[in-house]
Amino acid sequence: MPSYILGISSFYHDSAAALVLEGKVIAAAQEERFSRIKHDDSFPSEAIKYALREAGIEIEDVEAVVYYEKPFLKFERILESYHSYIPKGLKSFLTSMPIWIKNKLFLKKIIRDELKKIGGYTGSLYFSEHHLSHAASAFFPSPFQQSAIITLDGVGEWATASIAIGQNNSIKIIKEMSFPNSVGLLYSSFTDYLGFRINNGEYKMMGLAPYGDSSSEEYQRFKKTICSELVEIFEDGSIELNMEYFAFGHSLHMTNEKKWEKIFGFKKRKANEALESAHLNLALAIQDITEDIVIKIAKTAKQLCETENLVLAGGVALNSVVNGKLRNADIFKKIWIQPAAGDAGGAVGAAMGYYFIAKENKRIPSTCKMKTADLGPAFIRDNIIEALKNSNLIWEEIESIESNLERTAKIISEGKIVGFFQGRMEFGPRALGHRSILADPRDPKMQQRLNASIKFREEFRPFAPAILEEHYSEYFDEKQNSPFMLFVHQLRAEKRKKTTPTYSWKERLDQIRSELPSITHVDYSARIQTVSELNDPVFYRLLQKFHKITGCPVLINTSFNLKGEPIVCSPEDAIRCFQSTGLDYLIIENFICSKPK
């Protein structure tokens, strides 16, 4: 009888479900894609239903359900934290305790009740540990037989980071860092102070950091202040936070704002407040410090694990700038990162961890590795036609996929922006050519146009390039591929253009820095997706056809969604997003759609 294991992540942020068959992930999706609530933390009922449909099974066919963390251990940590800060934190305690008592302490019953609604599951229910789930999500789907494992996030039960060794079908935790000392919470505290939302705006701060000036006195002062007042960094990469400056241990706020204002010289930025040099330099300072910490942790992992391979997971592993610096440090020969590195990926790790560790099944990397992230739903022709008939769009069906891709490549080469909807939806936060917005990177105004009229987001934020794998090293200073858009690397020197020094970040934004200006960030970097024919034949052929027309093997690739909304899942979602933005065309499988004039 086939062994189906269902992994679940929920009730914090980015709820998700993953279905594993004989050790291989066959379906995975975040609940937000179905509910249309960004970072939805509710029980992933719709994601579970999708996974079961994809496998063609019922819930009673599942051998075991595994939750990604242990709620009682987390509750213990929360109680101890409040107790240690008495009398501080009373308001936060009174706010959070009813939620825990009503829901999270009785999670076993809640999960059973929710599964009963789906179809009457009566099988086994297990609970993994948070960082073990992250570790399993990184190692078991990786291509490595043996690997060092690093997990880094805000906090699980008690652990905030771990170093482990993965060998065949086992994982051994070697070293852990515990709450409140957390690289993830340190980074999120700065995210919050700079006016961005935690668990949502960290990537905005990462994109803002290159506008800072590392040669400035202000940057140097900020970096020195952080390391002398806020955090002590040890040689092995472990850290100790000075909790006089942080409030997350006893309140609903991240920082002691008055103390931060005193040492940094400016108040916490409000969400829509203008960006000043201090904001840019502080973002750069904490980004650089985070890179230093992670590299120290990686060196420790290399010493402890004695292997040339590294895998990563946890929210900090989504910091693609850190990942690029880590790769350039040449500590490990090969690095693989779980594309859904945050809590959503914990569902994958919970299921795979049970299958390999608890059941002691043999693991063969070539059969269980994640070659792609397209683990979500696809939609058949009848679904698409029905959605289009219920819209007011002008649409036509192209007979062959090749003709469709040729038309699409030509449309993009003429300066048009398209929503591109093909095959199964991606799992994780990145759109990788299945639910993407695509445009021409050669257009110097395209970044501003996309930010202003399509994505409706901050103008400083860069866009990522998708590039044909075989042309990767022609454009970027890196040879190892980046299929999941999780590494930032530098544009090669010969592809750059000289710029005029300026002190204004907005003037820097407007400068043309390369022959691909709309994917080249202010520091000549880009978060790269390499596309291969083997792993993504449709998107690969589109890039090929665009290359043939323009001589450029690169497209802008950004997620198909509006600001504040999840990436589109269904044809109906794609149509709504298309109608609400300045997108020129919508490509859904072999259908080309435009708006009525």
pLDDT digits (tens, 9 = 90+) for 164-211: 999 999 999 999 999 999 999 999 999 999 999 998 899 999 999 999
pLDDT of 82 reads: 67
Pairing of strands 170-178, 394-397: unpaired
Do 584 and 483 sit in the same domain of this protein?
yes
Quick one: pLDDT at residue 253? 87
Q: List CB contacts of 205: < 8 A, sequence separation 6 or more.
A: 187, 190, 191, 194, 196, 283, 286, 287
Q: In the prediction, which pLDDT does 99 show?
A: 66
Q: Are 296 and 272 in contact (CB under 8 A)?
A: no
Alpha helices in 344-460 (DSSP H): 346-353, 365-368, 381-389, 401-413, 446-449
With respect to residue 373, please indicate whether it lies within any of the assigned structural domains.
Answer: no
Residue 375 belongs to a domain: no
**Residue 72, pLDDT score:** 78
The answer to whether 147 touches 311, Cβ cutoff 8 Å, is: yes
The per-residue pLDDT for 100 is 64
Query: How many distinct structural domains can be found in the chain?
Result: 3
CB 547 within 8 A of CB 553: yes
| Strand-pair partners of 64 | 5, 124
The pLDDT score that the predictor gives to residue 459 is 85
Amino acid found at 256: N
Of 64, 17, 8, 10, which is closest to residue 39 (Cα–Cα)? 10
For the beta sheet containing 64-67, the strands, ordered from the edge strand earlier in sequence to the opposite edge, are: 24-30, 16-21, 4-9, 64-67, 124-127
Task: For residues 553 and 410, state if they share a domain.
Answer: yes
Q: Are 201 and 251 members of one domain? A: yes
Q: What is residue 232's predicted lDDT score, i.e. its pLDDT?
A: 98
CATH number for the domain harbouring residue 111: 3.30.420.40
pLDDT less than 50: residues of the chain: none
Residues 517 and 573 in one domain: yes
Taking the C-alpha atoms of residue 454 and residue 577, their distance in angstroms, rounded to an integer, is 9
CA nearest neighbour of 31 among 343, 351, 379: 343
Q: Which domain holds residue 68?
A: 4-141+338-368
Asked if the structure places residue 104 within a domain, the reply is: yes
Which residues are CB-contacts of 143 (< 8 A; sequence separation ≥ 6)?
336, 365, 366, 369
Which run of H or of E encompasses 323? helix 320-328
Residue 409 included in any domain: yes
Looking at the fold, whether 18 and 137 belong to one and the same domain comes out as yes
Residue 376 resides in a domain: no
- Shared domain for 545 and 396, answered yes or no, is yes
Tell me, what CATH number does 536's domain have? 3.90.870.20
Q: Tell me: the pLDDT tens digits for 367-411?
A: 999 999 999 999 999 999 999 999 999 999 999 999 999 999 999
Does 563 reside within a domain? Answer: yes
Q: What's the pLDDT at 341?
A: 98
CB burial of 513-522 (b: ≥16 within 10 Å; e: otherwise) equals bbbbbbbbbb
Asked if the structure places residue 374 within a domain, the reply is no
Q: What is the pTM of this model?
A: 0.96
Does residue 569 sit in the same domain as residue 435? yes
One domain for residues 399 and 513: yes
pLDDT for res 90: 60
Q: Are residues 332 and 425 in the same domain?
A: no
Whether residue 100 is contained in a domain is answered as: yes
User: Do residues 267 and 280 both lie within one domain?
Assistant: yes
Identify whether the C-beta of residue 31 lies closer than 8 Å to the C-beta of residue 19. Answer: no
Verify that 443 and 584 share a domain, yes or no. yes
Same domain membership, residue 468 and residue 322: no
